[in-house]
Structure 1
Amino acid sequence: MSGKSNTVNTVLGPVPAEELGAVAVHEALLSVVPGAEYAFDITIDRAEIFETLAAKLTDFRAHGGGTVVDSTGMFHGRDVRLYEALSRTTGVHIVASTGQGPEELLGGYFRTPQTDPPTPWPAEKFADLFTKEITEGMVVPRVERRAAAGLVATTATREGMTATDESLFRGAARTALATGVPVSLRYGADALHDLDVVLDEKLPADRVVVGGLDREDAVAAGAPLEVARRGAYAALDHVGVEHDDHVTDAERAALVAGLVRAGFGGRVLLSSNATGVAKGHPANDLPYSYVLTAFVPLLKAQGLGDEDVRRILVANPRDLLSVR
């Protein structure tokens, strides 16, 4: 990257990219299935949630972590004030996200046809919604806007991208073009197809990270290498998850080593998709420090050196998250 002063949008404001340290690029802090906050059998005690998350972030920092990216988007429990307090208390930088998806988890308003005859929300409406969360700050419902979102996160329907999903992806790409933040996408059935939808909006590939590429179907199709070849970031972001159609950590480590040997070490990202606190769904209860403590030794055993590890955990996410 150039020598200019690059910054990253965190919940406490812009931070020089060089200060991020090791980054967990695809995690969840408070993850709430939309609607669960209203359920009689769900308890949301913000003081208890704060204590749980503060302990997990402190552990992350104690093991060398610097920044956690909450990539849950707008309506899955994102609590900007809570994240501000957590960042101040623990010293861990927190990057929050705008964005939505997949279609089945959108609120009714965002699934309401906007035209006659009915069509899904157009990409431009999603782009306007997401862009304002970066240029004017993330919405704290019905009260105010706070800090700028640091990325746009969106997900396609697992069985394959729907028309609404496509509007979400195109809206995310247009937001990235307008604001300089990156797009984080979780593919549905076909990683390369879903990446192409974003690139069709003329967004440079190095502003896109494709997550979920440690799913068995993606690995079998050679998607991690092909995503990297196209210039996007390939995220193996379920490190520590060895079920639900994902490869094992040993296979992940070999995959990372292969990408590095093929010359694509600058396009690899790692994360655990850990859930700090989950409401309405099971948590992926791995510590945020799992990649640092349990997976890095596997990379070293594959022959990767300290510089390779630093590039993947520090330099790559720094370059991705820098606003430009």
Structure 2
Amino acid sequence: MTGATTMNTVNTVLGPVSADDLGIVAVHEALLSVLPGAQYAFDITIDRAEIFEILSAKLVDFRDRGGKTIVDVTGMFGGRDLPLLEALSRSTGVHIVASTGLGPEKMLGGYFLTPQTNPPTPWPAEKFADLFAREVTDGMVVPRVERRATAGIVATAAAREGMTATEESLFQGAARAAATTGAPVTICFGADAVADLDVLLKESLPADRVVVGGLDRRDAVAAGAPAVVAARGAFVGIDHIGVDDDEHLTDTERAALVAELVKAGHVDRILLSSNAIGVAKGLPERDLPFSYILTDFVGLLTAAGVTEDDVRHILIDNPRDLLTVRR
């Protein structure tokens, strides 16, 4: 057999799809986000039919505004409901890329510590690596039931106050899983974005397989982290677009930051998202439309001097390159 080619693919909840079919991608969102254990609270109701209707309407709006793919970063135990995501993708036509991964430490149970030591110590990085890698290669786990479609990205996070020993092990494991499987990694950094990125890069993971999220935080911008992360070759996650609080830039300031990065030659390293939560249970609401970037933020980008070609590159080409599985 001659002339055979290997198609570049992305793992979605309905199976691998061509990377060229992703279209516009929202790269860091949450469809159903559940605080672990909230489903057992007396005052919280999880009606899956109602949740489906809410999320379906939001995904249809995203699709009708021009979006085609959404990345759900809830990870293993943050509300990821694979049958629900599959049904949503089938009914709306929106590709959904689900994630494996855990973190930060405060969201983990004691299972992920080694109780035979006093005090308990974290799982070694290799155990996290195996856990995450199997979800990329063998399928994501529906607890105590089965494995389903393969994860498209590894997601992890550090504590806002700074990375703990457990989180360092998590980051190392995430990097090793990504290097083994060809999937990318997205991180929410703790106190120091560049130092947290270095934890992954020390595992010999190529920088262009990493997204450092939260780089529209004021402390990160003040430290110059977006430009440093881009110069290292990792992706800069401007991913709280539409969030209006004291901790983050305003949308006008975010647009200026994107324009500055583009002018510095980093258009290939920028990713945009809102960290929107479609349905939250036991967590604060972050009820932004998944289409917010398309309806509101793109206009701010063009007003800041970012060209339409660069906007399309950021919304289409960069996520495609990130999410393509590298075998």
Pair in the same fold by TM > 0.5: yes
Q: 2:322 aligns with which of 296, 320, 323?
A: 320
Q: Check the 8 A contact 2:114/2:123 in 1, yes or no.
A: yes
How far did residue 113 of structure 1 move?
3.4
Q: 2:71 aligns with which of 65, 69, 72?
A: 69
Q: Which residue in the other structure is 2:138 paired with?
A: 136
Residue 303 of structure 1 pairs with residue 300 of structure 2:
no
**Aligned-partner residue type, residue 180 of structure 1:** G
CA offsets 1:42-81 (integer angstroms, 9 cap, x no match)? 1000000000000000000000001000011100110000
SS of the residue corresponding to residue 235 of structure 1 reads strand
**1:4/1:224 Cα in 2 relative to 1: closer, same or farther (>3 Å)?**
farther
Q: Check the 8 A contact 2:213/2:236 in 1, yes or no.
A: yes
Unaligned 5+ residue runs, structure 1? none
CA offsets 1:86-110 (integer angstroms, 9 cap, x no match)? 0000000000000000001002211
**1:45/1:117 Cα in 2 relative to 1: closer, same or farther (>3 Å)?**
closer
**Aligned-partner residue type, residue 106 of structure 2:** E
Structure 1-normalised TM-score?
0.98
Q: Check the 8 A contact 2:255/2:301 in 1, yes or no.
A: yes
Q: Check the 8 A contact 1:114/1:121 in 2, yes or no.
A: no
Q: 1:43 aligns with which of 40, 45, 65?
A: 45
**Aligned-partner residue type, residue 290 of structure 2:** Y
Q: Distance in 2 between matches of 1:171 and 1:271?
A: 25
Q: Which residue in the other structure is 1:24 paired with?
A: 26
How far did residue 135 of structure 1 move?
1.0
Q: Check the 8 A contact 2:70/2:96 in 1, yes or no.
A: yes
Residue 264 of structure 1 pairs with residue 275 of structure 2:
no
Q: Identity over the aligned pairs, expressed in percent?
A: 73
Q: Which residue in the other structure is 2:173 paired with?
A: 171
**Aligned-partner residue type, residue 29 of structure 1:** L
Structure 1, 238-247 or 145-154: larger mean CA deviation: 238-247
SS of the residue corresponding to residue 188 of structure 1 reads coil
The within-5 A match list for 1:108-123 is 108-113=110-115, 115=117, 118-123=120-125
Unaligned 5+ residue runs, structure 2? none
Q: Distance in 2 between matches of 1:112 and 1:31?
A: 27
Count of aligned pairs between the two proteins? 322
How far did residue 28 of structure 1 move?
0.1
**Aligned-partner residue type, residue 293 of structure 2:** V
Q: Which residue in the other structure is 2:187 paired with?
A: 185
SS of the residue corresponding to residue 240 of structure 2 reads coil
CA offsets 1:104-132 (integer angstroms, 9 cap, x no match)? 10022113435577421100000111111
Q: Distance in 1 between matches of 2:142 and 2:215?
A: 32
How far did residue 284 of structure 1 move?
0.6
Q: Which residue in the other structure is 1:93 paired with?
A: 95
SS of the residue corresponding to residue 88 of structure 1 reads helix
CA offsets 1:6-33 (integer angstroms, 9 cap, x no match)? 1000000000000000000000000000
